[in-house]
Amino acid sequence: MHSKQICIALAQLNFTVGAIEANTLKIVDTIKQYTDSNVDLLVFPELALSGYPPDDLLYRDAFIRQVDEALTQIKNQVTAMAVVLGLPQRIDGCLYNQAVVLQHAEIIASYTKWKLPNYSVFDEQRYFTAGNMPTVFEINQVKVGLSICEDIWFPEPLKSAMEQGAELIVNINASPFHAGKINEREAVVSKRIIENKVPVVYLNLVGGQDEVVFDGGSFIMNHEGQVISRLACFTEELAVVEFDLDSQALVAAPLHPLSNVDEAIYRALVLGVQDYVRKNGFTSVVLGLSGGIDSALTIVIAVDALGASNVEAVMLPTRYTSDMSLQDAKLLASRLGVEYKILPIESVYESLLTLLADEFADRPFDSTEENMQARVRGTVLMAISNKKGSMVLTTGNKSEMAVGYSTLYGDMAGGYDVLKDVPKTKVFELANYCNREYERIPQRIIDRPPSAELRDDQKDEDSLPPYKTLDAIIEMYIDQERSVAEIIGAGFSADVVYKITRLIDVNEYKRRQAPPGVKITPKAFGRDRRYPITSGFRDKG
């Protein structure tokens, strides 16, 4: 008896939101690549045609019209091979998150996403109408059931497809990254498989879109819930697999290993920077190099994302900048091979102090004078950006963003904050990860106590608790949404907890004006966490 076999091409590709013409060209080129091959089924990710997430572009008739026109163009390129394509479709006045199956220049089947996520970075219930019907189609005598992303996290959609005779499930995704996410995905899909005893092809999007990074890592699981093929993470990959449903065996299938946590986070940061800069029409970046660990890690990421020739580092010293910082910044820039210059801002700072002398009379030196230095630096970097067309990368980390340890219109001024969702303790770990093969970041930068160097003998821990304590409280209060009482109950000082949670609450206005940055934790500042700026609420424990 002839065994049931199907040859599937997985198109784990990077699409750009709203770039319908470019996305169409990429889709058509991929279809042409496999048209004369033995591929039975070519699969693209969720909303590949529009990019994900298209947000309020979905409200624009012109946008939906372009998608419809592109679908016609793509459909006409499809012959005997079947193609699964994700796109938004408006039908009878309702908008759906769809997967269409194309063959012989026709739509032979379509599936509407059932489970519309409306949490974290997702807003699908704002735009889409949910489906409730399974779709099973036949290719090469194999009955294939479709599902889209969130559907696989619930029992009903897959179970419904099985009731319609599905022998293989194809699940297309735009599943964003956070640390540990791929393990969560594989655990959930394995659970669905064990419930239904059916193999699953899980295809994920790859690429950066504003704050969100899609990490790829597509995989195939057999009917026992075991990964038998996995595509690479954080990179585009086309892979062809021949699957035998009877033996559950694959032919010539890639099986990439999973990255460790620090490697995955680092690669997400690199991809996020690369796509944000390039997809927004820039080719180069500029940043202030302070001699500290945050700017050091940021510039290494920028070099890996864009190449040293597209990165400019500027040291902007004042009277408070130490010789150590000057030496370390110069050494780091030299090791990375980036353009580096020193532009002292002391004279500009002094001029401002003179200008404001009467206004500040009889008032002591405080954070005002500290912030003035940061704002001069921000002005200089933005001027370089305007003149040269380079995007400014800011260097604030999640710990600083949480408690407002940053200067509005100063070190927060720029186009993208690479470390916005990276806690300070993780900054140190990633710096050591960068040095795993050789010392890219001078060790002294990693070892020295962090300081903003905006006054004499300043250390971060003069104003903040140790970063290990601070980050633990931030994680519990923000990521886990634990109460003040619960955090104190976990063993932290009540005074420290009250201080930190109050700082988090009152600095929402700063974060709302901050540039976007790569999401790497389960709850990032930005579209992931939506708190009011004006709020009288305080958790008093």
Percent of the chain residues past pLDDT 90, beyond the cut: 89
Helix (H) or strand (E) holding 341, with range, is strand 339-342
Chain centroid, CA 313 distance in Å = 24
In this model, does residue 370 exceed pLDDT 80?
Answer: yes
CATH class name, domain 263-461: alpha beta
Q: Give residue limits of the domains in the chain.
A: 5-251, 263-461
In this model, does residue 253 exceed pLDDT 90?
Answer: no
Buried b (16+ CB within 10 A) or exposed e, 56-77: ebbeeeebbebbbebbeebbeb
Q: Is 46 marked active-site?
A: yes
**Integer Cα distance of 18 and 353 in angstroms:** 47
In this model, does residue 408 exceed pLDDT 50?
Answer: yes
Which of 7, 26, 113, 186 is an active site residue?
113
In this model, does residue 115 exceed pLDDT 90?
Answer: yes
Mean of the per-residue pLDDT values of the chain: 94
Task: Quote the pLDDT of residue 1.
Answer: 45
Which of 149, 370, 453, 519 is an active site residue?
149
| Number of neighbours of residue 309 by Cβ within 10 angstroms | 12
Domain at 5-251, CATH homologous superfamily:
Carbon-nitrogen hydrolase (3.60.110.10)
Q: Is 113 marked active-site?
A: yes
Q: Is 94 marked active-site?
A: no
Which of 26, 46, 211, 453 is an active site residue?
46
Task: Quote the pLDDT of residue 453.
Answer: 72
At residue 2 the predicted structure's pLDDT band, cuts being 50, 70 and 90, is: low
The residue-averaged pLDDT of 286-307 equals: 97
Torsion angle (degrees, nearest 10) of CA 519, 520, 521, 526: -10
Residues 6 or more apart in contact with residue 468 via CB below 8 angstroms: 425
In this model, does residue 250 exceed pLDDT 80?
Answer: no
State whether residue 342 is helix, strand or coil: strand
